[in-house]
Amino acid sequence: MDIVLEVRNFVEAECRKPSSHYGYEPFAFHFVPVVAYAEKLVTELGGDREVILLAAWLHDIGSIMHGRKDHHLTGAKIAEEKLTALGYPAEKIALVKKCILNHRGSQQNFRETLEEQIVAEADVLANFDNIAGIFKAAFIYENLDQGQALESARNKLKNKWKQLHFDTSKEIIRPKYEAAMLLLK
């Protein structure tokens, strides 16, 4: 059994359900890019590839199944249940859960492991691939007008840039960050 593929399929199935809080879009426009960035970072920086990929697939599952509030907590619980059901080792489940619990940039959590930092950075990097999603959130969920949405998007991306700790992350995303700052003037 390929556990990463099993988890990927689980996340995609949850995104497709009518009960998904955000529909299918997060799968294609957030989960897939987060995993792609996680793969780049683990290749460059090391760490437990399997733990990182599992956490990257599961980091926002709490949002999909229960909504954004405390999604890091609900996501860690869902991850533990799913990975236990798949027979994944308890010590590895604990690492995946730590990555999920500490992935949020809005939470000033201390990240002890390379795996936690890579998942958090991959989550940040994916924002630069989904500027349309940032505007969608500003218009639909935050009810902002165009000027407010523009300022909100610019500020969000500036804040995301500041959350990056690895030089590798900054080098990967610098062209997109600079282009976004130019376009969002």
In 3D space, the residue among 133, 86, 125 whose CA is nearest the CA of residue 103 turns out to be: 125
- For 46, other C-beta atoms within 10 Å of its C-beta total 12
Report the share of the chain in percent with pLDDT over 90: 88
105 and 124 Cβ atoms separated by less than 8 Å:
yes
Output the average pLDDT for the chain.
94
Nearest alpha carbon to residue 55 among 112, 93, 81, 25? 93
* pTM greater than 0.85: yes
Indicate the domain borders of the chain: 3-183
Minimal CA–CA distance to 62: which of 42, 81, 36, 38?
81
pLDDT digits (tens, 9 = 90+) for 139-161: 998 999 999 999 999 999 999 99
Render pLDDT for 68-90 as a digit per residue (tens, 0 to 9).
888 999 999 999 999 999 999 99
| pLDDT at position 4 over 90 | yes
pLDDT of residue 148: 97
pLDDT, mean of residues 18-27 = 92
171-178 long-range CB contacts below 8 Å, 24 or more apart? Answer: 172/37, 172/40, 172/125, 173/125, 173/128, 176/128, 176/129, 177/128
Domain 3-183 CATH class label: mainly alpha
pLDDT > 90? residue 173: yes
Classify residue 150 as exposed, middle or buried by CB count within 10 Å of its CB (0-12, 13-18, 19+): middle
